[in-house]
A and B are shown apart, each in its own frame.
Chain A
Amino acid sequence: MNNNYQKFINRFLLLSCFLIIFDTLIGRCLAVLYHETKNPTIAKMNYSFFETKADILIFGSSRGEGHYIPQIIKDSTGLECFNTSIGGEGIFYSFGLLTNVLTRYKPKLIVYDLAPNVVFDPASIDKISILLPYYKLNREIQAVVALKGSFEKYKMISSIYPYNSLLFKIITGIRKKRNDFQLSNGYKPVYGTLNYFVNSQDDRYREPQNIDTIQIIYFKKFIELCHKAQIPVIVIVSPKYYKTSQFPRTITVFKKITCSYNQLFIDNFTVDGISENSKYFKDPIHLNNIGSELFSKRIASKLKQELSK
């Protein structure tokens, strides 16, 4: 029996050694490739985390990414602007990114696009995976990743795991010659027009019952972080098509938090001149390129006013 144990332990240790070697080697290669790739999302995230020095930073989800045109904001305010928003991501990504940005420099203004629908995304915790390649940057990011589950810190022992499911994006991005996001400073236009009937009773556009408290906590942390760094934050709820729900409870909660730190909250969820016109929308919750141009012009003038105060 002793021989059985000994043999098992020997083989187990040998296998573990090989596994550590291969995991480290492959993980290192993936890390290098991850920072080299020109996949639009990954390259934009890397740029946001490590390079941007823009005066105005825009944070948000797909609505943030497609609703704010940095060039228009720059032309109006005279300040460099970069849109860090990533489709499908909410406050967790924005908070993780902000913690690292603040270790590098202090932006003059931060705009947070609040997407009320993203607040209820049941997959929001799973989407924290986007921060895995940046896990080692600081403890705040590690705390966000820990929300995924108690085993996450053990999984992160592997050097490969942070790049789980990213191989295809990394490799296809390596072959690209240029970083497309830099041409538009992070703005991703959406083309096409809302050309179908929108049912106001559709569950997808209605405010659910329970607000995700973890997201509220992290939103508060986001505002607090800016407040401590003495960076003004403007929280904006950008337009949606008028037929969808107003999300009144959600907006009230977030507005209260923002105002408690003496920061500006702009509720443009339903706004005259945009919300009622389907030609400005790609779908009920996303402005198209024409709508985003109109909205960016309006917001740029408000930002200019705020900066001049």
Chain B
Amino acid sequence: MSPLVLALLVGAGLFGIGLYGALSQTNLVMIMMGIELMLGGALVNLVAFWRYLHPDVYSGQVFVLVVMTAMAVEMAVGFAVGIARFRARGSVEMEEAVDLKG
């Protein structure tokens, strides 16, 4: 099995675990952990593709930087929304966030 396929399998595994976590957890922070794992899997795939298929074109690495930026931005805004929700309702459980009002 070529190292490219091994790295892609790692990315696939991280994606599956992240998807399970994002769907099964009730807490906002745990859902975000699942999303971080999925994005981590995508990063692994990007780096593997860069390294083994096109090591001379740096668009792959720029894409990785953009995904890392998106991870940081998503976390910042997500936690800010979590703080606002916690102040309004006292919890960040997604099971309780079913009404539009408030």
Partners in one complex: no
Q: Residues of A with Cβ closer than 8 Å to B?
A: none
